[in-house]
Chains A and B, each alone.
Chain A
Amino acid sequence: MLTSEIIWQTILSGILMGCIYALVAVGLCLIWGLMEIVNFAHGEMLMLAMFTAFWAFSLYHIDPILSLPLCMIVLFIIGVATYFIIIKKIIKAPFLAQILATFGLGIFLRYLAQFMFSPDFRTIKNPILSGNINLGGIFVGVPQLAASLICIVTFIILYSFINKTEVGIALLATSEDREAASLMGINSDRMFALGWGIGAACLGVAGALMSNFYYIFPEVGFNFALIAYVAVALGGFGSIPGSFVAGIIIGLVEFLSGLLIAPAFKYSFVFLIYLLVVFIRPQGLWGRY
């Protein structure tokens, strides 16, 4: 039976999940905007964030909501390290080499995690954020609601950081025109490293929040990464508001098609919507090119 409550419930769940997708996608989008490189290890970095939260919980009993800053810092370091160790060397390499280098990193991290942590599915038991609340007849999971609210807040902070602060504007300038920015005394190397750090730190936030209600296992990142690529391309590469809207659209499509058509095909519909949009608007919804 499809009651209006079920439909509203699904729409709300879709939007909540969409906020998380948006935060995962925005990191990817930021890196692309800066240096036109797609990070194909994005999902694996998200997985590392979830495992950081998991180990902080199971070894030191730190609740994910409290280990969130830790996840951010760890991922920031991973992002910066990735830039200096790998990305810096392939900035001028052909497009294909860039894809494969980050893809190789992803495979490496995924199976390293499997080697060290085993392929088991894990959950965090009884986190602070748990249970459901009743919003006028619609039941919403507290962790999901909190996650999406924090994602929105992070998004707003990130957006104002980039558009309002001096460092953020320097980031924007580097992404507009690398040569001109370096003539203005902006160290593009430092900007790229910062971009990778922030992009990965977004995953730290998303990963810590998701560890409250999602299974944690080495291959968890794969689907999220695919969705993030689709979100970034759908929103238009390099457009931060674009990837936010695209994240929400994807969340809605996923949950509604799962409810109305068939759960087994929900990601097919996500990809189909993406294809339809780029066929009509090849540069994505907000694309610059």
Chain B
Amino acid sequence: MGGNKHKWIWLVIGAVLCLIFPLFLTLPFPRHLMIMIFLYASLGLAWNMIGGYAGQISLGHAIFFGAGAYTSTLMLMKLGVSPWVGMLVGGILSVGIAFIIGYPCFKLAGHYFAIATIAIGEIAQQWMLNWDWAGSAVGLTLPILPESLINLEFHTTKAPYYYVALGIFILAILATYGVDRSKLGYYFKAIKGDLEGARSLGINVSKYKFYALALSAFFTSICGSFYAQYVLFIDPDSVFPLMLSIIVCLVATLGGVGTVWGPVIGAFILIPISEFTRIQFGGGGKGTDLIIYGFLIMVISIYQPFGVIGISKRFKKKESA
């Protein structure tokens, strides 16, 4: 990285570029692409807190995403409440769900935990598919409201969505930095590195696993609410699928788990690939884009099991050796 000073310069350049990006690229597609990158980077960062720092591999994060999307949408449709309030309520609800899931699941280790989270995610999806009040399998189409920041709906330009996504992304980065630099981060890493060791040092393991999951759930849920406002249509297949949980996990893994910038790098690599293959090869019901996607997932995990950040670390090791 070349010292702290350089790091700050790069950060400032990056931030400025992100801020002025919509001024230069006015076409919808580049903006959409950046919004998706910010969304998935935030999701990856959120997943990283429990999966990367605390080492508990969750394959059911779609449940928090879906909870956020459905809470804000249902509150908007049934009560007429601003999506911002719904976003916050969804986040709090997701922390509650995290507690209910975490309490029994944190006793499970490794694959048992991963499969338990898959099972819970599938139960949630099936439940939503059959819950008539919440639109069941048909899904919910959000009402078209006048454009405004309060309504979080914009129909003529994607630029405001871009800045909201950027804002969520910056919040997720700051939260991750906070965790990384604080005692909390050390506790999480201790739990990941050596559970029994951490416990014998007097760390309340269940409590800190829960903190990690709660933080993760809160941010994932916010992303869900944002997604609902951005796409203006949600159904259980789009916000509760196992595939979403896997992609979120992949974003973090591809960049490098347990680091601040890993999930960001992962999103910047993976999301353009997936969006471009979707545009180039998608459509026609052939699923060609998904063939390529599956193939890439395979190749990346075989040849880059420690993520892209792993490459730079490997070079550093070679230099110092």
A interface with B by C-beta (< 8 Å): 32, 38, 86, 89-90, 93-101, 103-112, 114-115, 119, 226, 229-230, 233, 237, 262, 264-265, 267-268, 271-272, 274-275, 278-279, 282-284, 289
Contact = CB atoms under 8 A, between A and B. Distances in A.
Contacts of B300: 100, 104
B305 to A, nearest CB: 3
14 contacts: A86-B302, A90-B301, A93-B305, A98-B301, A100-B300, A104-B294, A105-B294, A111-B291, A112-B291, A115-B287, A233-B116, A268-B123, A271-B119, A274-B119
Contacts of A229: 115, 118
A103 B294 CA distance: 8
Contacts of B288: 111, 115
A269 to B, nearest CB: 9
Given A99-B114, A230-B115, A107 B305 contact: no
B290 A111 contact: yes
A237 B301 CA distance: 23
B298 A86 contact: yes
Interface in B91-134: 104-105, 107-112, 114-116, 118-120, 122-123, 126-127, 129-130
A112 B161 CA distance: 35
Interface in B136-157: none
A107 B301 contact: no
Given A108-B295, A271-B123, A93 B290 contact: no
B306 interface: yes
A100 B257 CA distance: 13
Given A101-B298, A275-B116, A265 B126 contact: yes
Nearest to B103: A279
A86 B300 CA distance: 11
Given A275-B116, A275-B119, A279-B107, A108 B298 contact: yes
B253 A226 contact: no
Query: What is the predominant secondary structure among interface residues of chain A facing chain B?
Result: helix
A147 B299 CA distance: 37
B128 to A, nearest CB: 11
Interface in B275-305: 285-288, 290-291, 293-303, 305
Query: What is the predominant secondary structure among interface residues of chain B facing chain A?
Result: helix
A110 B112 CA distance: 25
Interface of B: 51, 57, 59, 104-105, 107-112, 114-116, 118-120, 122-123, 126-127, 129-130, 246, 249-250, 253, 257, 285-288, 290-291, 293-303, 305-306
B302 to A, nearest CB: 5
Q: Which of A93, A96, A226, A262 neighbours the largest number of chain B CB atoms within 10 Å of its CB?
A: A96
Contacts of A89: 302-303
B126 A103 contact: no
Contacts of B116: 233, 274-275, 278
Given A89-B302, A93-B301, A278-B112, A100 B249 contact: yes
Given A268-B126, A271-B119, A105 B57 contact: no
B306 A94 contact: yes
A100 B123 contact: no
A277 B57 CA distance: 20
Given A95-B57, A100-B250, 13 more contacts: A38-B114, A86-B302, A99-B59, A100-B246, A101-B297, A101-B301, A104-B301, A111-B290, A115-B287, A229-B118, A264-B126, A267-B126, A278-B108
A104 B254 CA distance: 13
